[in-house]
Chain A
Amino acid sequence: MPIVCGGVVYALVTDAYDAFEHFGFLNFLTSSQWSYTAGNEQYGALPFITGTLMTALLALVFCIPFSLPVALFVGEYFKETKVASVLSTVTDLLAGIPSIIYGLWGFFTLRPILMTLNISPHGSGVLTASLVLAIMIIPYVASLSAEFIKMVPNDLKEGAYSLGATRAEVIRKIIFPVAGSGMFSSYVLAIGRALGETMTVTMLIGNTNNIPTSIQSTGNSMASIIANQFGEADDLRLSSLIAIGLVLFLITALINMIGKMMIKRARIV
């Protein structure tokens, strides 16, 4: 595995070198220009970094009200019952649906609904993309959080009950503090998944190369710009796209590392 990983990094760095050399590493990250004008090409990654982080974080916010109840239902309220196993199986099934199907559903079902409700006048945009992304990451968050909730020692909970705590109090004062960092790490890992999601986002985000100014506006994520333009790109644009791939790789790796570290800490507790 380290060899594969090292190979990926090596290939990305060598191919992205031209772009970094031409624009400067920091300038490439902070420039919001993505302009094809021949002779004066300007490629900067900022619109796509913003687009990626916006969709991923929004998706996380949208997924909390769904994934948290599922995790509590499966891990605490109906722990080890038939209902819980059915529910967790159904939630896990969501993870098995190919992303193109989510994209099509978002395009043909969710997008017209958002347009008729006038929530998003153009239909496509950051909001539409993150709503579908939220559904896609629910299974990861829900099943991982449920595992951490199940791991909370029974003695602690029984102790609290014997002192007269209600179930809500047990969840708030015992389960959240004990399983909290583990649950947090499950959200961090889910972000890692949302960051790299390509097909769904490409179909729904609107694919314009500007920094999204509101959650309704269109934009592009790092994965979607690569998917859109890789086929026709050459020279400097190709190198810039690979550089974006490298940045995405680094961000995802960083977030996954944070998640893993939090899980380790949770195990020690």
Chain B
Amino acid sequence: MKKIFSSIMTLIIAITMVSCGGNAKNGVRKAQELSGAGATFPLPFYNVVFENFAQVNGDIVAYGGVGSGGGVRNLRDKVVDFAGSDAFLTDKEMAEMAPVVHVPTCMGAVVVAYNLDGVKELKLTGEVVADIFAGEIKMWNDERLTALNPDVTLPAEAIIPVFRSDGSGTTFIFTDYLTKVSPMWKEKFGAGKSVNFPSGQAAKGNPGVAGVISQTKNSIGYVGSEYAFAQKIPYANIQNARGEFILPSSESISAAAAGTIPADTRTSITNADAAGAYPISTFTWMIIYKEQNYSGRSKEQAEATLDLLQYILSDEAQNITTEVHYAPLPAKAKELSMKNLKTVTYDGVTILQ
């Protein structure tokens, strides 16, 4: 009887210790639960980072992959601590909200993936991609495609373009690029999270598009780089602003950020004029309010939010990017973001010293 009693006591003590353990690691601050919502594009990276962050700091981060637009809407409704977005807020959107801070978290790219029997390498220019998705180049053996790919036999089959059926940051990056390289695209379709693609078929989410491409012969579509890299779908070399044909990779994506970055880090790096740069590259951002005291948030919660962003900018988190098929931020973007984070306040008092 005594034995059972003592073992039960040990069990109870053990449980209490384990449940307290989460709080102990942080030292001063109590462990917080943070919630964010937004882009699905960086989701695989965030999952790893949040898990590591929970181990280091004890703070738990819940992130809902509801899409960039949904994330920004949640932030505007002040129901989340941060929003994830592949597109920075426009001046008009900024004017409608309280002041915000953009923090780039990693870099990614949109790749043009295809499914063609026996074709291992495909070279495309931006204009050709625009014409394919505009339905103007209809056949794989179109002379503009064969001229770019003299060593490849392209089939005499109809091209099936695949695009996103849901509003998406991936679509925004892709069409933002097409708008820059094709006047026709700019005039007819423009850039946006949803665009009226004239032909082909659509699927929901990056996994959906990747699935349709891998299941449909003679199809071509655009997918977030991490899905293409991880699933090993073939993707095309795209000609950059310097005339080089570049395959997307962590190095060529990072190369796209070589240019100047504005102080608030809101910049599009598609079609970047840099050697070795993959032209459809992008930053992805986390967006927080400059004044952290809203919707009854505690100061500790605000501190935890900043701890999270600082952790993402740290070398430890940035080194994970390549493992999960993204690219690390350039030093300058990190520097600017740290400076921006120091302007974040709680009740008008800056949080970071």
Binding site for B on A (CB under 8 A): 34-38, 107-108, 111-112, 115, 121-125, 202-203, 206-209, 218, 220, 227-229, 231-234
In whole angstroms, what is the CA distance A36 to B195 when docked?
6
Contacts A37-B196, A122-B216, A123-B216: A231 and B160 contacting too (C-beta < 8 A)?
Answer: no
CB distance from B5 to the nearest CB of A (A): 48
Binding site for A on B (CB under 8 A): 66-70, 73, 158, 160, 165-168, 190, 192-197, 200-204, 208, 211-212, 215-217
Top 5 A-B pairs ranked by shortest CB distance? A232-B167, A207-B165, A232-B69, A207-B202, A206-B201
In the complex, what residues of B have CB within 8 A of residue A124's CB? 201, 212
Query: CB distance A107 to B215 under 8 Å?
Result: yes
B75 to chain A, nearest CB (A): 13
Closest to A238 in B: B73
Closest to B165 in A: A207
Structural contact, A233 and B167, CB atoms closer than 8 A: yes
A107 pairs with B211, CB closer than 8 A: yes
Q: Is the interface of A mostly helix, strand, loop or mixed?
A: loop
For the complex, give the distance between the alpha carbons of A73 and B167 in Å: 48
**Smallest distance from the beta carbon of A67 to chain B beta carbons, Å?**
29
Please, how many angstroms separate the alpha-carbon atoms of A37 and B193 in the complex?
11
Q: Which single residue of chain A is at the shortest CB-CB distance from B171?
A: A232
Chain B residues with CB below 8 A from A123, complex form: 201, 212, 215-216
Asked if A37 contacts B166 (CB within 8 A), the reply is: no
Given contacts A115-B217, A122-B216, contact A234 B73 (CB under 8 A): yes
Which residues of A are found within 8 Å of B196, using beta-carbon distances? Answer: 34-37, 209
Contact residue among A115, A121, A125, A228 (Cβ-Cβ distance under 8 Å from B165): A228
Which residue among B69, B70, B196 has the maximum number of chain A CB atoms within 10 Å of its CB?
A: B196
Q: Are A36 and B192 in contact (CB under 8 A)?
A: yes
B167 x A208 contact (CB < 8 A): no
Residue of A nearest to B199 (CB): A208
Nearest chain B CB to A227's CB is how many angstroms away?
A: 7
Contact of A231 among B166, B203, B211 (CB under 8 A): B166
Q: Can you list 8 A-B contacts (CB < 8 A)?
A: A37-B190, A37-B196, A38-B190, A206-B201, A220-B165, A229-B165, A231-B70, A232-B167
Chain A residues near B211 (CB-CB < 8 A): 107
> In the complex, what's the smallest C-beta–C-beta distance from B305 to chain A, in angstroms?
24
Q: Shortest beta-carbon distance, B139 to chain A, in Å?
A: 13
Say yes or no: B201 contacts A232, CB within 8 Å: no
Residues B194 and A208 in contact, CB atoms below 8 Å apart: no
**Which of A207, A227, A229, A231 is close to B201, meaning CB atoms less than 8 Å apart?**
A207
Do B215 and A112 touch across chains, with their CB atoms under 8 A apart?
Answer: yes
Contact A231 B167 (CB under 8 A): yes
Say yes or no: B204 contacts A227, CB within 8 Å: yes
- Docked CA distance A202–B73 (Å): 24
